[in-house]
Each structure stands twice: as C-alpha cells, then as structure tokens.
C-alpha cells in the first residue's frame, strides 16, 4: 500500500491484515519504487514526493504486478487514463472497506490466470542439463548446487546458447531491476557460476555482457 496519509493507511492496513492479507505500507513514491516485489499494489495518486501517475507507470514498466489506483475525489480519472497508466482498477476516496476488498479479489482473480507462469522447460545444452520442474542442475553428469539467483541466471543464459546477453538486460530480466549503474551483483553471480561449473562455459563479451557457450558432451 502506497499511502502518505496515516489516517487512511492505518485503518486499511488493520482491516486488510484482519482479512488475511500481508500488508506493507510505504508513504512515498520513492518508497514504493524501492519496495520489494509484491502480489498487488494499492497506489494513492496524491503522494508527497512523486506524482502517483509516474509511480504507476514506473511500476508497470517493471512487471505485471496488479495495481489498484486510489484517487481523491475531484481528481480526473477515467478508463483511458487508467489504461495509459497501466493500472488494473481504481477506487475514488472515500470508499468502503468492503468495496476495496471486492476490488482486490476481482483484480487478483483476473490477473491470476495471466500471471501463472508457463511450466519451466528442461534445458540440455552440451554437458549441462537443467530440469525445469525440480530445478536440478547437472554438469557432466554431476549434480551442481546453485543459489536461486545463480539458477535463474544460468537458465536465462543457457536457454539461448551463443546469444550475447547485455548487462542491463540481465539485471532487468533476472533481477527484475532497472539498471542504475552498478552490475557488481551480476559479476559476483557470473564468477560463482563459472566456479561451480566451468570457467569457459560463460564467456565475457567485452563492454556488452555475457554469452553461454555450450561445451561438448563428454565422450564415453
Ligand atoms: Ca495522498
């Protein structure tokens, strides 16, 4: 919930918590953009630091999280604007708590089918095999233990062997973050993957990014 007015945020948080939701409240647009990913966003448009519409567009550009916009009475908001913002629904203050819960349920239901991920495919490139369902990784027949992010990074690279993946692209797609300069996290994970698998498997493409190089299957 992005809401700067504690007189609104507090009772809503209490009510939603009672209704079984796990609620995190932030009071600013900057706070909303810095928050961990959530299953749904309630976004007040009138925020002290950033324009709520900017926050909405930015959240939408990062992913498919359902967004319910909350606007004050008198603010111009219609379906067209809502679509432009990328929001899924809106409520005008003052609104009833039951109405809010009904909207949350409806939006969650509507987006659930769209959001359910396709079943993860298996990947087999050279000596590397990845079981998408069990998330088990083996290299030259030996199991490899990876952290969740290492796993996602490896799957992303190995799914398209030979293709160069840019640093910004990797940060955006694997870390789900917009790139603001440092990609140290990425380097750390690449280094770790090279150590756990084989250094030659992930090639550095200078000034661009990385590419997965398929190593030949071991000859029996
Ligand atoms: Ca406000």
Dist. CA 108 → ligand 1 center (Å): 24
Dist. CA 197 → ligand 1 center (Å): 51
pLDDT tens-place string over residues 195-204: 999 999 999 9
Q: Which residue has the higher pLDDT, 174 or 44?
A: 44
H or E, element range at 11: helix 6-18
Dist. CA 27 → ligand 1 center (Å): 9
- The domains located in the chain, with CATH, are 6-114 (3.40.50.2300), 117-212 (1.10.10.10)
Dist. CA 1 → ligand 1 center (Å): 11
Q: Report the candidate in 166, 173, 162, 136 with the shortest Cα–Cα distance to residue 151.
A: 136
Dist. CA 146 → ligand 1 center (Å): 43
Dist. CA 90 → ligand 1 center (Å): 14
Dist. CA 74 → ligand 1 center (Å): 13
Dist. CA 71 → ligand 1 center (Å): 8
pLDDT tens-place string over residues 49-91: 998 889 999 998 888 889 999 987 666 666 677 777 888 888 8
Distances in Å between the Cα of 164 and the Cα atoms of 150, 176, 182 are 18, 19, 19
Pairing of strands 142-144, 136-139: antiparallel
pLDDT tens-place string over residues 115-149: 444 456 789 999 999 998 888 999 999 999 998 88
Dist. CA 43 → ligand 1 center (Å): 9
Q: What is the dihedral of CA 151, 154, 155, 156, to 10 degrees?
A: 120
**Tokens representing 134?**
């069990």
Dist. CA 17 → ligand 1 center (Å): 21
Dist. CA 47 → ligand 1 center (Å): 5
Place of tokens 């959530």: 38
């Amino acid at each position: 919930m992005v809401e700067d007015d504690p007189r609104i945020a507090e009772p809503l948080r209490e009510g939603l918590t009672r209704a079984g939701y796990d609620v995190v409240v932030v009071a600013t647009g900057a706070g909303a953009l810095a928050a961990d990913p959530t299953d749904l966003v309630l976004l007040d448009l009138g925020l002290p630091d950033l324009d709520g519409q900017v926050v909405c567009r930015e959240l939408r550009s990062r992913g498919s999280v359902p967004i319910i916009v909350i606007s004050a009475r008198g603010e111009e908001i219609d379906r067209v604007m809502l679509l432009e913002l990328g929001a899924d629904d809106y409520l005008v203050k003052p609104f009833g708590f039951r109405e809010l819960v009904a909207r949350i349920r409806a939006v969650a239901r509507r987006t659930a089918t769209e959001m359910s991920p396709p079943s993860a495919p298996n990947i087999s490139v050279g000596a590397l095999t990845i079981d998408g369902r069990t998330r088990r990784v083996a290299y030259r027949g030996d199991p490899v233990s990876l952290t969740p992010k290492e796993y996602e990074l490896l799957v992303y690279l190995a799914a398209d062997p030979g293709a160069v993946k840019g640093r910004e692209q990797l940060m955006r797609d694997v870390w789900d973050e917009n790139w603001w300069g440092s990609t140290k996290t990425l380097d750390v994970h690449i280094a770790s993957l090279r150590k756990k698998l084989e250094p030659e498997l992930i090639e550095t493409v200078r000034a661009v990014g990385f590419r997965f190089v398929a190593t030949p299957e071991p000859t029996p």
